[in-house]
Chains A and B, each alone.
Chain A
Amino acid sequence: MSTLRARHLVIDIPDRVDGTPLDLEIMTGQVWGVLGPNGAGKTTLLHTLAGLRPPRRGEVLLDDQPLAELRRRTIARQLAVVFQERQDGFPATVLETALIGRHPFLSALQMETAEDVMVARQALSALELEGYEARAVSTLSGGERQRLAVATALAQQPRIWLADEPTNHLDLRHQVAVMHLLQRQAASGRSVFLCLHDINLAARWCDRILLLYPDGSACWGDTESMLMPAALEQLYGQKLSATRLDGAPVFVPRLVDAGPPGG
């Protein structure tokens, strides 16, 4: 089943030509990974798919309905976004932060129910944040805040996950844990769409890959067919060495005969 679909979509990045219009469907059960160098427009694409920015051309459809015509509240009940940058300067506790994931499901004057609190606590526990409930967000480390952001999205119980660098600031164990959590979400009938820096995380955890080039061109397909060393070298302007480990391709920058970027 298709859930989120981009139709002739061109994201709006100032002073850039249109490039390749995106025609892709994010199906139930899929984990998509977007790869591209800095400034290729990964975050802009994610925000456009979430309906937070208008596209330059084309449209985004949620269950065949244009996103632009849906109320934010309707979208919020289906789709969660984990942002790369967060504004958590305003005082709040960890549980209060996770509980705002329940906001789309409550009416204006309704207080959070015991069930909402339970959902939020379970989300915190799934991200190994149990016992942190009463902590002020400002006292958390970068990695703990990142996990809290994922937990807040988890409390939203979305059908579609859009996550911008969900493994930022995370140590190796928590990187694996978060990717595993997202994979299980997809396996249980949700769709997951991730922007990633790390080719190797994408290679291991994603089944669909979208390569986004700085000039606006793009290509997408199965992970196995997309993660070709030559394509990736062109994408990042960096020579790579490739091998296979534990059944997944692994790429590392090649330092011998490394020319200047793009050369």
Chain B
Amino acid sequence: MAGAEQPLPAGAAAGRVAPGLARVWPPLLTLAALSVLSVLLALSIGSVHVPLSGLLALFGSSADPLYYALVIELRLPRALAAFGTGGLLAVAGALMQVLLRNPLADPYVLGLSGGAAVGALGAMLLGLGALVVSGSAFVGALLSTVLVFGLAHGTGSWTPTRLLLTGVVVAAGWGAVITFMLVIGPTERLPGMLYWLMGDLAYARSAWPSLTMLAVACIVLAPLGRSLNVLARGPLQAATLGVSVRPLEWTVFLAASLLTSVAVITAGTIGFVGLVVPHMLRLVFGADQRLILPASALAGGSLLVLADIGARTLMAPEQLPVGVITALLGVPTFLYLLYRSR
């Protein structure tokens, strides 16, 4: 302290500690390349193997009609839907982890996905239109968020145990409601509806809602990155550093619910993507949200595309729900994180 005026150690322990634009782009470009690669793999691998040259030929005039139907009409929409869904879930997870200051938060574990599924299923059983189904899923996810945050917060702060218990119980409750709806639902629609429970991309109809929402989320959240870094230090600290805590928290609440509900409408309740992806990224790149949020979009998308390749091929010709694959990755990660947390 006496030596407060002494010159600074030049570049001591620089490297990954000083954030800057130059630090953000290399990881994002790497992950973008990984994303393209994963989608190409998804187009190539399957019951019929399409070599890279075959993929390239599709864009030329000499396109093989069989390949065209297989790749452009079947595999591409599914791969893009997987990418959008995975990205949405990973960003939603990263947002919730900041809001709760807890790396264990995840839309599936905390029951948001379940709430969205109940909302969507309920609207479908009532025979309501697609727009109402989407809105209802969003309301379900939001209700879940408010329940978990409200109950777990109570009078004190969010302790990990209390938060997880609340989330797990709420998620179990939604699971029971989904089962109930499936039982009273028309039998002939049962196979098609089960995917809400396990998460299955075979039923994804269109990739555009999830991809559009993912792009919008990245653009809207970009200016909030540093404020989220500050919010991660707790609401009081954030307020003294100039963050309008309540509006920011509500933005994040709404964003996490919205992203989760679009993901659920696309592919049902796929678990643990929001847990695994931000965790892995933080291990490699640190906890700066300006990098972690866009990186989660890319890495979450890639992960789900790769997981879906596994789901399609591991037991071929049988198809697994992709939720089984993500659970195989997610459950050990979750347990490891829980073990490490105090």
- A interface with B by C-beta (< 8 Å): 47, 50, 52, 71-77, 79-81, 83, 86-97, 99-101, 103-104, 106, 108-109, 111-112, 117-118, 121-122, 125-128, 130-134, 156, 174, 177, 180-181
Bound together, the chains give a CA A45 to CA B232 distance in angstroms of 25
Partner of B21, one of A99, A111, A174: A111
As a 0/1 sequence over residues 266 to 290 of chain B, the CB contacts with chain A under 8 angstroms (1 = contact) are 0000000000000000100011101
Residues of B contacting A: mostly: loop
Bound together, the chains give a CA A79 to CA B239 distance in angstroms of 11
Q: How large is the interface on B (under 10, 10 to 19, 20 to 34, 35 or more residues)?
A: 35 or more
B13 contacts across to A, CB distance below 8 A: 95, 131-134
Contact A97-B240, Cβ < 8 Å, known A118-B8, A130-B12, A181-B1: no
A95 contacts across to B, CB distance below 8 A: 13, 17-18
30 intermolecular pairs with C-beta atoms under 8 Å apart = A77-B242, A79-B240, A86-B237, A87-B157, A87-B233, A90-B102, A90-B103, A91-B282, A92-B229, A92-B287, A93-B286, A95-B18, A96-B19, A96-B229, A100-B241, A103-B226, A103-B230, A103-B243, A104-B242, A106-B226, A108-B223, A108-B224, A111-B21, A111-B290, A112-B19, A117-B18, A130-B8, A156-B241, A174-B1, A177-B1
Q: Are B233 and A88 in contact (CB under 8 A)?
A: yes
B186 CB-CB contact with A under 8 Å: no
Contact A133-B12, Cβ < 8 Å, known A73-B242, A83-B237, A181-B1: yes
Contact A50-B240, Cβ < 8 Å, known A91-B103, A112-B18: yes
Bound together, the chains give a CA A131 to CA B3 distance in angstroms of 14
Q: Are B230 and A130 in contact (CB under 8 A)?
A: no
Q: Are A91 and B287 in contact (CB under 8 A)?
A: yes
A100 contacts across to B, CB distance below 8 A: 229-230, 233, 241
Bound together, the chains give a CA A123 to CA B236 distance in angstroms of 21
- B interface with A by C-beta (< 8 Å): 1, 3-4, 6, 8-9, 12-21, 97-98, 101-103, 157, 222-224, 226-227, 229-230, 232-234, 236-237, 239-244, 282, 286-288, 290
- In the complex, which residue of chain B has the Cβ closest to the Cβ of A75? B242
Bound together, the chains give a CA A142 to CA B6 distance in angstroms of 26
B242 contacts across to A, CB distance below 8 A: 71-77, 103-104
A131 contacts across to B, CB distance below 8 A: 9, 12-13
A122 contacts across to B, CB distance below 8 A: 4, 8
Partner of A76, one of B6, B12, B240, B282: B240
Q: Are A125 and B6 in contact (CB under 8 A)?
A: yes
* Top 4 A-B residue pairs of the complex, sorted by shortest distance between their CB atoms: A76-B242, A87-B234, A73-B242, A177-B1
Bound together, the chains give a CA A76 to CA B12 distance in angstroms of 29
CB of A237, distance to nearest CB on chain B (Å): 29
Bound together, the chains give a CA A71 to CA B247 distance in angstroms of 13
Q: Are A90 and B232 in contact (CB under 8 A)?
A: yes
Bound together, the chains give a CA A83 to CA B234 distance in angstroms of 11
Bound together, the chains give a CA A79 to CA B240 distance in angstroms of 8
- In the complex, which residue of chain A has the Cβ closest to the Cβ of B232? A90
CB of B254, distance to nearest CB on chain A (Å): 18
CB of A181, distance to nearest CB on chain B (Å): 7
Q: Are A125 and B4 in contact (CB under 8 A)?
A: yes
Q: Are A90 and B98 in contact (CB under 8 A)?
A: yes
CB of A144, distance to nearest CB on chain B (Å): 14
Q: Are B287 and A96 in contact (CB under 8 A)?
A: yes
Q: Are B287 and A87 in contact (CB under 8 A)?
A: no
A104 contacts across to B, CB distance below 8 A: 241-242
Contact A111-B19, Cβ < 8 Å, known A87-B233, A91-B287, A96-B288: yes
Q: Are A90 and B233 in contact (CB under 8 A)?
A: yes
Q: Are A128 and B1 in contact (CB under 8 A)?
A: yes
B240 contacts across to A, CB distance below 8 A: 50, 52, 72, 75-76, 79-81
